[in-house]
Each structure stands twice: as structure tokens, then as C-alpha cells.
């Protein structure tokens, strides 16, 4: 078979199971694409070629012996480099962890490999998942496949770029404030943040533990649904993992009698192109039978402030373990214990990570904890209450993914302007809600735009069904960036 990268994960899995292509052919094909394109794209920090080839050979033997094959048999999957793969480097795109080799598999990785996925490599990200543009990677920038001068989004920009360019058909990301949905929107693919606790965080290097959630990138909603059936399982090693049975994601193509809420007042500052695209999306939803309601979510205007208090506070606590003794690099010239801490962190952490650690330490310090951290927690509760009131009226909420399409690299130097890129995605993390980004068209620069749908807690299945209906009506997920349409060679 030629042009394997034009297939969805579901289609490629079917081709492998039917014997139309071998796993070894799949592995060699996608490794060739990575070899040819990764230098210009910057999507992968490391490529696990020998591991992938060995897995493919075992998978071909398994098929030849008529043994049961996994749901992701033969499907290449890229892993964000803040998730552990036993025996491989987990760098978090930081110099601090450039020598850290994971001693165990993350639960999500174990589940993927149990279902016969082919792990392609570890993808680029903002250092310790802190950023919205992938410009905070300690190694090199990732680039947007639709325009290499633009950001792929962050922090999971490497996975999004890899999937959008079809160097892998599925990717994993972590979403703390939009780090799956925003890159998916910028790169014209599907990105999904599950209900908090639906996917285990065991083996994910923590940024902000009450906000982080692992989720998939894919080229179609059906591929996201397939991946969620694999990784959406309880894990006894994770105290935040929901003890619920795995779900089956059947897909619908209608939205008859579905009520979609729109927080119009919260969207008043949308840029004209993004607003026009969003209004078109609402017309599509209506044409599928949905009823559009105006809902009150004005409290969300405080979500950026709340998020950057809570996230930095949790980050300062989580990153305290990186001291040059238990983890990461150790500064050889240090003569005292304090100097080991100071010198290792000074050399190992990048500017954005240091800034967030300092902010988090400040809001947790004596005299400021009540004024900032505790007040932010109270406002977070109000955000959760506002969503509960909204979902009493509607089945899902529609918002844009970002204020605009992908912006050029190095074009945003104001930290606040950069933080505002996540204004529409952060609220779902504060409330622990499932949310999905689906391609919804292009702006005048021919850069992708995305529609975001947010659902009530534990309503992952219906939310993905709504997204599938929208996808089938628009067909934007089948579009491939022109630079990466060609074959592996």
C-alpha cells in the first residue's frame, strides 16, 4: 500500500488486521517520514526506531499465528516527552532531565502497548509543559505544519505537529490549561481533554496535579474515540483515577434535540475572523438539529487569573523535587548542599520555568497565601458552580479554541498576551470537565481554526459523539498540510 499516512488510525488498523500491509512495512514507512521531515518540523526530541521495528516484527508474528490483535495494532503513536516509557529518556524538554531514564511505564503507555500500538518516539514540548507556543523547549522549536514560520501551539506542540504532518497517526498530550486543545486547533487536527481522572496520570511528570490530564491527538474523532477506549481505564497507582469501567464510544452523525450553550458575553472580544468562523460553526450545529442557547458564564473572565495562581503554586511544589540529588543534572562545582540546589536549578531550568516557580512560591508564602491562593480556590469553586448551573440548561457548551489562528514564532513577547492564548481552554481544566477541539475551517492566512465543545463531568462519550457529528458535516479533518501530503520518500 502507498501513502499510508493518508489513512486514519482506524483504517490503518483494519488494513493491518486484514493482511493488506505488515506492521514492519508500517513502521519503516513512518520512520522514513520522520527521518525526512522532523528536522524542519522539530516535532520529535527522540525517535525510538529500533524499539518500533522490534514491536512491529513481534506484531507480524502474532498475526501470522492468528493470535488476538489489539485495538491499535499497527498504529503509530507519538508520546509527549513528559510521559514515562521504561528505559527511555524523559526530558520534559528540559536540560535538567536530559540524563533521566524512566524506570517504569506510564499507565497510558502500558495500555497503548497492550493494545499493540507502535510507539514512534518522544515529542517536543514547552519545558515541563509550561507554555502556549512550544518556544520554551530547552532544545529547539517545533513548527506548525501549515506554515513553518508559525507556532504549532503549546505545550503539546510536538505531538500536534507530528500528527498534523502525518508523521504519526495518533499522539498523546497533557492538558493543564489547554495544552492539547490549543495545539490541535492551531494544527487542524482533533485534540481531546477527558474528564479529570478518566485517564490515569501515573507516569506523567506533574506540572499542576489538580489540573493536568492526559489525552489524545488524532486526525479524526473516530481515532480519538478508539484511543479513549484504550487509555480511559482505572489505575490503582493513581489516587485521582476514577474507579469506573472502560467505556465504549459509539458515534452519531446527528445532534437532534441536543442543547448547545454559548456564553456570548464571554466571547465579546473575539477577533473578527475567529468570530465569523465561530458563527458559521453554530449554523452547522443548528443544521444538525442542535438548539443553541445563550448561557451566563461571566465568571470565566476570572479564569486566567485563577489559573496562573493555582497552576504556579502547584508547579512550585511539584518541581521542588528537582534538586540535583534525587533527579536530573548535578552541578559538579558545587561545594555545599545549598550550592548543589542553587547551581543545578540555575543551569537546568529555563526562564519560563523559573518564573512560574517564583510566582508559585510567592502566592504560597506566609502573608500572601490567604490573599492569593485561598481566594483563587474560592473563585475556582464559583467557576465549577457556574458550569453546573449552565449544564442544567444545556448538554454541551460551544466556544472557540483560541482567540485566533496560529501566530508567528517570536511574535508575542508580552507574557500576559501569551497567557491570554488559553482564555477559552483554561475553564474546562479548572472545573475538571471533558473538552474537545475539532477543526472548523481556516482564516485568511489559510491557518486552521478550531471549535471547542465542553461537556459535563463524565459525559465523555456523548461529547465525542457531538464532535463526530460536527466533523462529518464539515470534513475539515481530512485536510493535510500541503508541505506534508507526499509519500514517505
Provide the annotated active-site residues: 80, 155, 179
Quick check: 396 and 258 in contact, CB under 8 A? Answer: yes
Backbone angles phi, psi at 310, to 5 degrees: -70, -45
Chain centre distance of CA 389: 27
Alpha helices in 258-302 (DSSP H): 272-287
Spatial separation of the C-alpha atoms in residues 188 and 308, rounded to whole Å: 27
Quick check: 168 and 30 in contact, CB under 8 A? Answer: yes
3-state secondary structure of 152: coil
Neighbours of 19 (CB within 10 A): 9
Spatial separation of the C-alpha atoms in residues 151 and 411, rounded to whole Å: 10
Quick check: 311 and 376 in contact, CB under 8 A? Answer: no
What grid cell was written down for 133? 507556543
Residue with cell 536530559: 98
CA atoms within 13 A on the CB side of 76: 35
Strands 190-193 and 435-442: antiparallel
Neighbours of 78 (CB within 10 A): 30
Q: Show the CA angle centred on residue 202, arms to residues 201 and 207, nearest 5°.
A: 55
Quick check: 109 and 203 in contact, CB under 8 A? Answer: yes
Spatial separation of the C-alpha atoms in residues 356 and 347, rounded to whole Å: 16
Residue with cell 485568511: 444
Burial classification of residue 301, based on how many CB atoms lie within 10 Å of its CB (0-12 exposed, 13-18 middle, 19 or more buried): middle
Q: What is the largest CA-CA distance in the chain?
A: 70
Quick check: 396 and 261 in contact, CB under 8 A? Answer: yes
E-strand ranges in 195-341 read: 214-218, 259-262, 291-294
What grid cell was written down for 164? 498534523
Spatial separation of the C-alpha atoms in residues 458 and 461, rounded to whole Å: 8
- The closest of 267, 255, 263, 258 to 469, measured between CA atoms, is 255
Strands 448-454 and 44-47: unpaired
3-state secondary structure of 101: strand
Neighbours of 482 (CB within 10 A): 10
Amino acid at each position: 500500500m502507498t501513502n499510508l499516512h493518508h489513512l486514519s488510525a482506524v483504517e490503518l488498523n483494519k488494513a493491518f488486521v486484514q493482511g493488506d500491509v505488515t506492521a514492519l512495512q508500517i513502521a519503516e514507512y513512518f520512520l522514513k517520514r520522520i527521518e525526512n521531515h522532523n528536522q524542519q518540523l522539530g516535532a520529535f526530541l527522540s525517535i525510538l526506531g529500533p524499539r518500533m521495528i522490534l514491536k512491529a516484527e513481534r506484531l507480524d508474528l502474532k498475526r501470522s499465528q492468528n493470535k488476538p490483535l489489539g485495538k491499535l495494532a499497527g498504529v503509530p503513536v507519538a508520546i509527549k516527552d513528559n510521559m514515562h516509557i521504561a528505559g527511555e529518556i524523559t526530558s520534559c524538554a528540559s536540560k535538567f532531565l536530559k540524563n533521566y531514564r524512566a524506570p517504569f511505564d506510564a499507565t497510558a503507555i502500558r495500555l497503548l502497548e497492550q493494545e499493540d500500538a507502535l510507539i514512534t518516539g518522544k515529542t517536543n514540548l514547552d519545558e515541563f509543559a509550561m507554555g502556549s507556543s512550544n518556544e520554551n523547549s530547552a532544545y529547539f522549536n517545533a513548527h506548525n505544519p501549515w506554515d513553518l514560520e508559525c507556532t504549532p501551539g503549546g505545550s503539546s506542540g510536538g505531538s500536534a505537529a507530528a500528527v498534523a504532518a502525518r508523521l504519526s497517526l495518533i499522539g498523546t498530550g497533557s492538558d493543564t490549561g489547554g495544552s492539547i486543545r490549543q495545539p490541535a486547533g492551531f494544527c487542524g487536527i482533533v485534540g481531546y481533554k477527558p474528564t479529570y481522572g478518566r485517564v490515569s496520570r501515573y507516569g506523567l511528570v506533574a506540572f499542576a496535579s489538580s489540573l493536568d490530564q492526559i489525552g489524545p491527538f488524532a486526525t479524526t474523532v473516530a481515532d480519538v474515540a478508539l484511543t479513549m477506549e484504550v487509555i480511559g481505564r482505572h489505575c490503582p497507582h493513581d489516587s485521582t483515577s476514577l474507579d469506573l469501567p472502560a467505556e465504549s464510544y459509539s458515534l452519531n452523525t446527528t445532534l437532534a434535540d441536543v442543547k448547545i450553550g454559548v456564553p456570548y458575553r464571554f466571547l465579546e472580544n473575539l477577533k473578527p475572523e475567529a468570530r465569523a468562523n465561530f458563527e458559521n460553526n453554530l449554523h452547522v450545529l443548528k443544521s444538525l438539529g442542535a438548539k443553541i442557547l445563550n448561557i451566563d458564564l461571566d465568571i470565566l473572565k476570572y479564569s486566567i487569573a485563577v489559573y496562573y495562581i493555582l497552576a504556579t503554586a502547584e508547579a512550585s511544589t511539584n518541581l521542588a523535587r528537582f534538586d540535583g540529588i534525587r533527579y536530573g543534572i548535578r552541578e559538579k562545582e558545587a561545594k555545599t548542599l545549598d550550592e548543589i540546589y542553587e547551581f543545578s536549578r540555575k543551569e537546568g531550568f529555563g526562564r519560563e520555568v523559573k518564573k512560574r516557580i517564583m510566582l508559585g512560591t510567592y502566592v504560597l508564602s506566609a502573608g500572601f497565601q490567604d490573599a492569593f491562593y485561598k481566594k483563587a480556590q474560592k473563585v475556582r469553586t464559583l467557576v465549577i458552580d457556574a458550569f453546573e448551573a449552565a449544564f442544567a440548561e444545556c448538554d454541551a457548551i460551544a466556544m472557540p479554541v483560541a482567540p485566533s489562528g496560529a501566530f508567528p514564532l517570536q511574535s508575542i513577547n508580552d507574557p500576559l498576551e501569551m497567557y491570554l492564548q488559553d482564555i477559552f481552554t483554561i475553564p474546562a481544566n479548572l472545573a475538571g470537565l471533558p473538552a474537545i477541539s475539532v477543526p472548523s475551517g481556516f482564516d485568511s492566512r489559510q491557518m486552521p481554526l478550531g471549535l471547542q465543545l465542553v461537556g459535563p463531568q463524565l459525559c465523555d462519550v456523548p461529547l465525542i459523539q457531538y464532535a463526530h457529528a460536527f466533523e462529518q458535516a464539515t470534513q475539515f479533518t481530512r485536510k493535510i498540510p500541503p508541505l506534508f501530503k507526499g509519500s514517505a520518500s
